[in-house]
Chain A
Amino acid sequence: DIQMTQSPSTLSASVGDRVTISCRASQSISSWLAWYQQRPGKAPKLLIYRASSLESGVPLRFSGSGSGTEFTLTISSVQPDDFATYYCQQYNSYPFTFGPGTKVDIK
């Protein structure tokens, strides 16, 4: 199985900050990586697919990059709605696996 790791596990930020979350796969997954945002008590929401493609309706301040085993999610200017937990997920092969999550909270 492909293991996914994320760093940091928690990140404190102020509104307007640039935020970067890293995700690493235990083996190459090409660009078969998605990023999700999850608010408490809600279902995850797809933000980025194929490592760098922005899902329809997602604000342009979100961007993704990387390929192979190293990936990054960037929020260019954090807004109040962005304080949530973020997960990466590989869909290169079954079983699909998620990273453990990065919680972005208010500094």
Chain B
Amino acid sequence: EVQLVESGGGLIQPGGSLRLSCAASEFNVSDDYMSWVRQAPGKGLEWVSVIHRFGNTYYADSVKGRFTISRDTSKNTLYLQMNSLRAQDTAVYFCAREGNGFDLWGRGTLVIVSS
């Protein structure tokens, strides 16, 4: 089954770091454009970052310089390294495959930034 499964979320103190993972099945993350999208509790969707097929990366201004997107083709996994976390980063983080729109989503992993 074609799917994405996120992991790595949890409770982290402000200023801390966390790495999210997104494992893909039945397709190669390196063949597609892959994004992270987040949703704060009770709020709307916010695009965070993308990595293109050839490795180009783009970020939302709200995370630029703090978050890094990457992938490991041997593990067929997408990552989001999050540093200098803030309370405003509290959200469910989804990974998603970008085709015409985001046609495949994971279930999400919850990140809570709080002391």
Contact = CB atoms under 8 A, between A and B. Distances in A.
Interface of A: 1, 34, 36, 38, 42-46, 48-50, 53, 55, 87, 89, 91, 94-101
Nearest to A45: B105
A97 B52 CA distance: 17
Contacts of A34: 100-102
Given A43-B106, A43-B108, A91 B44 contact: no
Contacts of B35: 96
B27 interface: no
Contacts of A42: 107
A98 B46 contact: yes
B45 A98 contact: yes
B23 interface: no
B44 A100 contact: yes
A98 B101 contact: no
Nearest to B59: A95
Interface residues on chain B, size class: 20 to 34
A32 to B, nearest CB: 9
A1 B59 CA distance: 12
B100 A49 contact: yes
Given A44-B102, A46-B102, A50-B100, A89 B45 contact: yes
Contact of A91 (B46, B94, B101): B101
A29 B98 CA distance: 17
A42 B59 CA distance: 24
Most chain B CB within a 10 A radius of its CB, from A38, A42, A94:
A94
A46 B106 CA distance: 13
Contacts of B85: none
Most buried by A among B61, B101, B103: B101
A96 B47 contact: yes
B103 A87 contact: no
